[in-house]
Structure 1
Amino acid sequence: MSAPAHGPGTPPPAFEVLTMGRVGVDVYPLQVGVPLRKVTSFGRYLGGSPTNVAVAAARLGRSSAVITRTGADPFGEFVHDALAEYGVDDRYVTAVPHLPTPVTFCEIRPPDDFPLYFYRHPKAPDLEILPEELDLPAVTASALFWATVTGLSAEPSLGAHLAAWRARGRARHTVLDLDYRPMFWPDEETARERVRAALGQVTVAVGNLDEAEVATGTRDPHAAGRALLDAGVELAIIKQGAAGVLGMTADTTVEIPPVEVEVVNGLGAGDAFGGALCHGLLAGWPLARTLRFANAAGAIVAGRLACAPAMPTAEEIEAVLAGGSPDSPAGSPRGGVEDA
């Protein structure tokens, strides 16, 4: 991942949304409610939270790119193919020859049980992002930069994230997704220390109640929001599932009720929420409108099987906000399904 040289008079690419971190291939059962050991058919999809956020933003018309790494293998090639299909720039996606592209399996047990099995051994290539190979001018020029807590779990990725944030200098729309996955960390305290250090480098923090508790030590959404603001962010967003979404700034508190949906697979909902959040922030919408829009996007994807192929268009989201149902006609993703 060598940093591209921007010659005299050649400005760096200024993406509207630039994300950084985890990528992989999601292998999801096509049989709902069946234990993984008995599943006989699977669908293969692009995966990894920041990668899916870039896809969701692109689906909403935003120019987007992702900084990540794959293995030098067929699944790595699939990542490039999928990004191209979804309109996400892949120039910062490079291969690590000695590591395999991660694969993630899950069981589909609606409405709220979706156990994940991550295969990221011996180490995920996306944790091999090198500070010296970042295109820092592009990081700085992007209108919104999105990173996740997973990228802080190991070097050299940790150093790369810190370098990216230093380059941005807490520019507006520098987002940290609190996306905490305990299996990626030696212990919760290490994660808490690194997250709290990172909060002073960003302007927006977004996460669910579990993730907010890791970051702040409390599960009370209002207390967690205030703690995130005290740590240095300008906007704190706490996703509360069936209780809706809380957004807080220094002088505004907004609470958005949930959107009712028959859940098929809740795993991609947060990424759809993230892409829609990016869209609303860049549009300069009031916080309440932004969160309603993001909430509806998440509900739509919760009613579909896959993550990346299920990301909604602006028209679909607006239809839900106008009173339509977020459920897809058959509870399945838009587009084709490939057998894994």
Structure 2
Amino acid sequence: MPNAFYAIGEALIDFIPTERDQLLKDVNGFMPQVGGAPCNVAAAVQKLTGRSHLVTQLGQDAFGDRIVETLAELGVNTQWIERTTAANTALAFVSLTASGERDFSFYRKPSADMLYDSAHIQRLPLASGDMIHFCSVALVDSPMKEAHEALLAKAHEVGATVVFDPNVRLPLWDDYQAYQQTIQAFIPHADIVKVSDEELGFITQIEEEQQALQSLFQGRVKAVIYTQGGDGASLIFADGTTYTACPTAVDVVDTTGAGDAFIGAVIAELMQSVEPIETLKKEGQAILTFANQVAGHVVQQYGALTSLPTREILDNNV
């Protein structure tokens, strides 16, 4: 049976502004787009490779219906998406600067995904060749955090490969120290950690870049992917082996989902391998280049999901 990919965490509706370079309070119109980092990654993997599943919970509401229908149209397996009347589907309102950077306001106190019951994890048919992806947004103290812990324990038991992209969202945490400590506690449970230049200092509390990156090699961590926006990305191993790749300059419209598309592209490449970490060691340069190509395509359009390319689209744009 082919390897499968499972992304766990939040799925929500991003309300993207119809006007740029405005503070969020001054935006007069929004376009609803399906989003949430795990959701974006699941969609990216599906469009590039297939066999992608999203593990989450949505409200029994119109926004939840929209997410399920959108993912189903993309081919993402939605059978592990639970529905509840106890809370609504999460929403995020976004403002964009002239350069495409974002500011967020989240509505999830709590949202349906936060109430996901860890008992559902036992039903997942996880196998040794599968890959898992998670972020930090859903790691607030909640049933969903317990579900993450249950899934990671199951992944370790069967030998699945775990990818952790903290995807730091400070507005969702009242206590930044607790947030930093939570991320640090989950890092050792991942085989691959992705971190951006904007997040590195916060996560590690270390100013010197190389020292901060090396500090991420804890527990099971075998590889660190370090992204620096337009300056490219690096793939670093504990023994010091490093690959780097710089993206082609493009006209940036919206950076929403670019990091998710990047790590989704990395995962899609590794999904085709029996030994993902060994493949990453041997083909790191090519994998980073491909991931930059995917992210570069995404930032030229609005919306995290609608801008995701297929391999055919990427081949035609070369």
Structure 1 length as normaliser, TM-score? 0.84
Q: Report if the CA contact (8 A) 2:105-2:171 is conserved.
A: no
* Deviation digits for residues 277-321 of structure 1 (CA, Å, limit 9, x no counterpart): 11122234511111111111111111111111111111333455x
Q: Report if the CA contact (8 A) 1:293-1:318 is conserved.
A: no
Q: How far did 1:191 drift?
A: 1.7
SS at match of 1:99: coil
Q: How far did 1:212 drift?
A: 2.4
SS at match of 1:169: helix
Q: Which of residues 62, 85, 93 is equivalent to 1:105?
A: 93
2:300 matches 1:303: yes
Aligned position for 1:155: 142
2:78 matches 1:81: no
Say if 1:258 and 1:231 are closer, same or farther in 2 by CA, change over 3 A: farther
Aligned position for 1:267: 256
How far apart in 2 are the matches of 1:319 and 1:110?
Answer: 29
Q: How far did 1:240 drift?
A: 1.0
How far apart in 2 are the matches of 1:169 and 1:58?
Answer: 23
Say if 1:306 and 1:112 are closer, same or farther in 2 by CA, change over 3 A: closer
* Deviation digits for residues 74-97 of structure 1 (CA, Å, limit 9, x no counterpart): 111111111111111111111221
2:210 matches 1:222: yes
Q: Report if the CA contact (8 A) 1:176-1:202 is conserved.
A: yes
Q: Report if the CA contact (8 A) 1:272-1:301 is conserved.
A: yes
How far apart in 2 are the matches of 1:227 and 1:319?
Answer: 40
- Bigger shift: residues 220-229 or 68-77: 220-229
Q: Which of residues 129, 141, 144 is equivalent to 2:116?
A: 129
Say if 1:225 and 1:267 are closer, same or farther in 2 by CA, change over 3 A: same
**Over the residues paired in the alignment, what is the CA RMSD in angstroms?**
2.2
Say if 1:184 and 1:278 are closer, same or farther in 2 by CA, change over 3 A: same
Q: Which amino acid aligns with 1:186?
A: D
- Bigger shift: residues 154-163 or 134-143: 134-143
Say if 1:186 and 1:42 are closer, same or farther in 2 by CA, change over 3 A: closer
Question: What are the equivalent positions in structure 2 for 1:190-205 lying under 5 Å apart?
Answer: 190-205=178-193
* Deviation digits for residues 161-193 of structure 1 (CA, Å, limit 9, x no counterpart): 111111111735211111111122232221222
Aligned position for 2:10: 22
Equivalent residue pairs, number: 308
Q: Which of residues 274, 286, 289 is equivalent to 2:286?
A: 289
SS at match of 2:96: coil
Q: Report if the CA contact (8 A) 1:209-1:219 is conserved.
A: no
Aligned position for 1:143: 130
How far apart in 2 are the matches of 1:56 and 1:278?
Answer: 9
How far apart in 2 are the matches of 1:194 and 1:303?
Answer: 33
* Deviation digits for residues 224-269 of structure 1 (CA, Å, limit 9, x no counterpart): 3211124530110111113211111123211212331111011111
Q: Which amino acid aligns with 1:45?
A: Q
Q: Which amino acid aligns with 2:307?
A: A
Say if 1:112 and 1:224 are closer, same or farther in 2 by CA, change over 3 A: farther
Question: What are the equivalent positions in structure 2 for 1:315-334 lying under 5 Å apart?
Answer: 315-318=312-315, 322=318
SS at match of 1:95: strand
Say if 1:288 and 1:219 are closer, same or farther in 2 by CA, change over 3 A: farther
How far apart in 2 are the matches of 1:118 and 1:18?
Answer: 24
Q: Report if the CA contact (8 A) 1:140-1:167 is conserved.
A: no
How far apart in 1 are the matches of 2:246 and 2:118?
Answer: 41
- Bigger shift: residues 299-308 or 135-144: 135-144
Q: Which amino acid aligns with 1:49?
A: A
| Structure 2: gaps of 5 or more residues | 274-278
Q: Report if the CA contact (8 A) 1:17-1:142 is conserved.
A: no
SS at match of 2:217: helix
Aligned position for 2:58: 70
Q: How far did 1:124 drift?
A: 1.7
SS at match of 2:257: helix
Q: How far did 1:142 drift?
A: 6.1
Q: Which amino acid aligns with 1:84?
A: A
SS at match of 1:305: coil
How far apart in 1 are the matches of 2:149 and 2:176?
Answer: 20
SS at match of 1:283: coil
Say if 1:255 and 1:159 are closer, same or farther in 2 by CA, change over 3 A: same
Say if 1:288 and 1:270 are closer, same or farther in 2 by CA, change over 3 A: same
Structure 2 length as normaliser, TM-score? 0.89
Aligned position for 2:155: 168
